[in-house]
Amino acid sequence: MRIAVLADIHGNLPAFETVLKDLRQHAPDCLIIAGDIVVGSPDSQRCWQLAQSLDCPIVRGNHERYVSHYGTEHADPLWQTAQFAPVQWAVAQLSTAERQAIAGLPLIYRLSDAPDLLIAHASARSDQESVPLHATADELAVIFANVTEQTIVRGHNHIPRTHPWGERQVITTGSAGLPLEGHNVAQYVLLDQVAAGWHAQHCSVPYPVEQTLQRFAETNYVAETGVMGRLFQREVATASLHFVPFLRYYRQWTATEPTLTLDAAWLRYNMSF
């Protein structure tokens, strides 16, 4: 059996289409999408609709939770602020029926004919739990407590990685639409069933990033999402991490300067980085 798993599309339609074209050449028996189809680049709805058309299993990422819970009693009040403008953009794109479908996505996925394999967005207990890049066996044992499968495949961290864990392994797919290793490539993983379990092949394929950046320009996305949209745009352009570092600095700065605006913090961040 051969399984293709991709994750973290983040509204990047050209990258998503490129991944699908590439993986079809490898003739997988099954495709699974491990969350975060939406929010990031401007085309959340079109990415969701394409994912739905594939009729494949999809698990919930943290960004699916944001758009499905937005405006409900489950939403964090912070989601109403400018820090979550890209989420608000995605919510405005998606229909009520689409958001309801997203709300019904499972946290994990298991295949009946592959009992030694677990698919999640982040972990089996959370849609936003990170695995350290150089995770130790003790750290993996905590993150995946009560998980019995030999192979765990996940996304969320955007860096492709295979973590050996005794006779087990934790595989991070990399990102199909928001890679963070300095190269504009769309990433996914192929799993081949072998006698010892599952062999993982990390795949990277160049995608037309200029088409994605053009979508930022022609949709008015940056004007409507402000600083946070510009951060996603920079991550797409440079294939490097900016969104999370900016927010960490912003929270650090506002601890002593509570009136500091996002725009002022953006200018400061640009001067420093």
pTM: 0.96
- The CATH number of residue 144's host domain is 3.60.21.10
> Are residue 180 and residue 254 in the same domain, yes or no?
no
Q: What is the pLDDT of residues 10-49, one digit of tens each?
A: 999 999 999 999 999 999 999 999 999 999 999 999 999 9
Do 195 and 62 have their domain in common? yes
Same domain, 180 and 237: no
Domain total in the chain: 2
230: domain range? 221-272
Tell me, yes or no, whether 183 and 229 share the same domain. Answer: no
Q: Which residues pair with 111 in a beta bridge?
A: 114
Residue 214 placed within a domain: no
Residues 70 and 143 in one domain: yes
- Residue 24 burial by CB count (10 A; 0-12/13-18/19+): exposed, middle or buried? exposed
Find out whether 13 and 194 touch, Cβ atoms under 8 Å: no
Q: In this predicted model, what pLDDT tens digit does every residue of 220-246 receive, in sequence order?
A: 999 999 999 999 999 999 999 999 999
Q: How does pLDDT run across 128-183, given as a tens digit for each residue? A: 999 999 999 999 999 999 999 999 999 999 999 999 999 999 999 999 999 999 99
Q: Are residues 43 and 132 in the same domain?
A: yes
Same domain? For 179 and 227 the reply is no
Averaged pLDDT, 207-226:
97
Here the tokens at position 120 are: 């999640």
